[in-house]
Amino acid sequence: MNNRAVISTAAAPSAIGPYSQAVKVGNTVWISGQIPLNPDTMDVVPGGIEAETRQVFANLRAIAEAAGGSLDSSVKINISLTDLANFQIVNAVMSEEFTEPYPARACVQVAALPRGVQVEIEAILAL
């Protein structure tokens, strides 16, 4: 694929496996699932689900900007939570991060996430 570009920024956590932070093909960017890692220390941020969610969106924002977009370029968001009881907290943080029209979204509960975190979010952008 000649029109495939890997997006990478030091402002978001480096990949902790065999994947890219994001891949851009044409005007579409697929951002890998982000967990609440501080990009400077690669440690999970303390403070519970709200702090974790804010860090995840900061990581997504940094990658979106490195790709030439913003969070508002998102057309689809996929959220994984280890406890759906945190759904309203994540919704509240998400409502601060986006302006209307909001992206399409899915939210599911999963058994576990890497590093024992409570939330992981991925995004698809249209630039």
Structure tokens belonging to residue 60: 């997504």
Domain boundaries, the chain: 4-126
Contacts of 23 (CB under 8 A, 6+ apart): 4, 5, 6, 7, 29, 30
**pLDDT score at 37:** 98
Whether the CB-CB separation of 74 and 102 falls below 8 Å is answered with no
Q: Give CA–CA dist 39/16, Å, rounded.
A: 11
Backbone angles phi and psi of 14, in degrees to 5: -70, 155
What are residue 6's DSSP bridge partners? 23
Distances (CA, A) of 76 to 6, 29, 38, 47, 85: 19, 11, 24, 27, 22
**pLDDT score at 120:** 98
State the architecture of 4-126 in CATH terms.
2-Layer Sandwich (3.30)
E strands of the chain, at which residues? 4-7, 22-25, 28-34, 74-81, 104-109, 119-126
Active site residues: 107
Amino acid at 119: V
Query: Residue 92: which region, alpha, beta or left (left: phi > 0; alpha: psi -120 to 50)?
Result: alpha
**pLDDT score at 1:** 55
- Per-residue model confidence as pLDDT tens for the chain (127 residues): 578 999 999 999 999 899 999 999 999 999 999 999 999 999 999 999 999 999 999 999 999 999 999 999 999 999 999 999 999 999 999 999 999 999 999 999 999 999 999 999 999 999 9
**pLDDT score at 14:** 95
Q: What ranges in the chain are assigned the alpha helix state H? A: 48-66, 87-97
